[in-house]
Every structure is written in structure tokens, then in C-alpha cells.
Amino acid sequence: MPDPSLREKFKSILENELDRLFPTLSLEDPLNALHQAIRHSILSGGKRVRPLLTLLIAHSYDIPAEKVLGAASAIECIHTYSMIHDDLPAMDDDDFRRGIPTVHRAYGEAEAILAGDLLLTRSFEIIATDPHLNPDQRRDLIACFATASGANGMIGGQFIDIRSKENPGKITLKELERRHLLKTGALILASVDAGCCVAGAPKSDGEKFRHFGRCFGLAFQVVDDILDVTSPESKHGRNSDLLNETPTYISLMGLEAAQNHADQLLDEATAALHSIAVPTGELVALVEELSGRIH
């Protein structure tokens, strides 16, 4: 049976590590304001889905959390960097996230840009200096995270997203899916790959986990689009896609079809997990929680 306390334990370990990585500095230190801007975002809660994927996959192979913590922390740094930059006026122009002002609203645009830059570069520093990883793992993780963050990942997806706003009526469902596979799915898939890498998972298991990651990552974005329509703004925290008329699964498919599409993807993700020989109950529980957000 899934143990919710295990996920809470992993989240607590992760948040303690993030607090250690970006401590409050003395008021006399000129970098204190930069650390405060980062802490404003990275310690503001959230589900920690991406690092949990990494930690839980490694846990399936009995790998201690301490060995995976560096990779999980690096993933959360990259994710937080992407959110800070996505929220900027030149990007998605969001004023709130998780119910609090976005970093550029609370600290300024220049500070937000630098906070994001520091988070991204710190993620690679974490991996490169992690004593729990061997040289091959460091190399593979750096390559994995760089790919997920670049033109074949989040940056590529964000660029397509920005361009799609210029002609919102012309984007097809296939193009929307590509955008989300890059912007949202790439880092989720990297989180899965990271867990397999640190665990030394067999290649056959890795392929099944990757299929799970692709389905889960795409479903994550479909659910996000659904919640933008069905959840109160105060609960979900942002509605810029609606305000900016950004193409979404709802605008292209309609609400009912989008819900069915999410269900199909989540069913496929669950089936992939059940096909793996190691225990995956905690990961199945994550899929069920995502499904529960729209049911």
C-alpha cells in the first residue's frame, strides 16, 4: 500500500536541503536580497512533483534518499527558475503564483531574472559536486538536465508558446501537444530519467519509466489547463492563459474531451508503472492524486 508519510518525509528532506542551499544571509551581505528572492519562490510550497518522481523511482530500487537528494534538489532549482522567468512581463506576465506575488512583482524584474539565472546555474553546480554520484552519473545527469532545459525542452516550448499567442486560432492540437511535451513534459521526463540514472535501473525498466513519464507529463499539462477553467483563481493562483487567449486543450478540444484525454493519459501512465517489476505503488498514488484534481 502507498505510504503518504513517505512522500511527506521526502518533501521535508528536500525542503530542508533547499533551505540549506539558499540560506538567509546577513543584512550587510549584498547577495541577501537575491537569496530572499529565490527563497520567496522555491520555499513557497508546491507539490514538489518533479523531485518526488526522482526520489520515488530511486526508492523503488532501495536507493537511500541521501544519494538522490542532489539530483532532486537540482531538478527543483531548474523548475523554480523556469517559473520565475515564465512569470515575467515579457513572457506569461503573471502577477501571482501559489497565491502570493510572483518574484518580479515582489522584488523587481532584474532581481527575478538574476534569481532564475542563479537557480539554473546552481543546479549544475549541485550535480557536478555531488559526492554521492560517480563521474558517469554526473555526466549523464548534466546532459539530461541541459537537454530538458534547452531548445529541445523548456526553452523551446516557451518559445513556441510565445509565438502561438500571435496567431492563437491557427495552432493545431498536434502543435499544442508538442509545445507542452517540451515546456512541461521535458523536465518531468528528466526527473524520471534522473531517478533511473541514480538507481542504476535496467534499460528495460528505464524505457517503461520513460513511457510513464511522457504520459504523466502530458497529462499534467492537460490537468493544468482544466484547472485554469474549473478552479477558482484564489485556489489555482493564476489565469494568464485565459486573459492572454493562449491556446489550451480546453480552447481546442472543449472541457469534456480534455478531461477524457487526461484520463486516457493517466490510465496509460498507470499501466506503464504496473508493467515494471519493482514496487511502484507510491508513483501510482501520484497518478491517482493528479486524476483526483479533476474528479
pLDDT over 60 (residue 40):
yes
Domain boundary assignment for the chain: 4-292
pLDDT band of 195, cuts 50, 70, 90: very high
pLDDT at 162: 87
Answer whether 209's CB lies under 8 Å from 269's CB.
Answer: no
| Residue that has been written with the C-alpha cell 526522482 in this structure | 54
CATH superfamily, with its number, for domain 4-292 = Farnesyl Diphosphate Synthase (1.10.600.10)
| Per-residue pLDDT tens over the stretch 25-39 | 998 999 999 999 999
**Per-residue pLDDT at 282 exceeds 90:** yes
Q: Which of 123-132, 134-143, 156-165, 226-235 has the lowest mean pLDDT?
A: 226-235
The angle that helices 32-42 and 109-128 make with each other, rounded to 10 degrees, is 80
Which set of grid coordinates corresponds to residue 259? 478531461
Tens-place pLDDT, residues 100-150:
999 999 999 999 999 999 999 999 999 999 999 999 999 999 999 999 999
Tens digit of pLDDT for each residue in 59-90? 999 999 999 999 999 999 999 999 999 999 99
SS3 content of the chain, % helix, strand, coil (to 5): 75, 0, 25
**In the prediction, which pLDDT does 245 show?**
66
Q: What is the mean pLDDT of residues 191-207?
A: 98
pLDDT band at 163 (very low <50, low <70, confident <90, very high): confident
Give the distance, in angstroms, between the CA of residue 38 and the centroid of all CA atoms in the same chain. Answer: 16
Residue with cell 531574472: 113
Assign residue 99 a region: left if phi > 0, alpha if psi is -120 to 50, beta otherwise?
A: left
Strands, E assignment, 33-131: 96-97, 100-101
- In this model, does residue 236 exceed pLDDT 60? no
Residue 295: pLDDT band with limits 50, 70, 90: confident
pLDDT value at 218 more than 90: yes
More confident residue, 162 or 50: 50
Q: Note the pLDDT of residue 45.
A: 85
Q: Which residues contact 266 (CB under 8 A, 6 or more apart)?
A: 215, 216, 219, 287, 290, 291
The whole-model pTM stands at 0.93
Q: What is the rounded average pLDDT of the residues 151-175?
A: 87
What sign does the CA torsion over 140, 112, 53, 58 have? positive
In this prediction, residue 255 carries a pLDDT of 94
* Cβ–Cβ < 8 Å for 258, 249: yes
170-179, 235-244, 249-258, 270-279: least confident range: 235-244
- State residue 19's pLDDT score: 97
Distance (Å, rounded) from C-alpha 221 to C-alpha 216?
Answer: 9
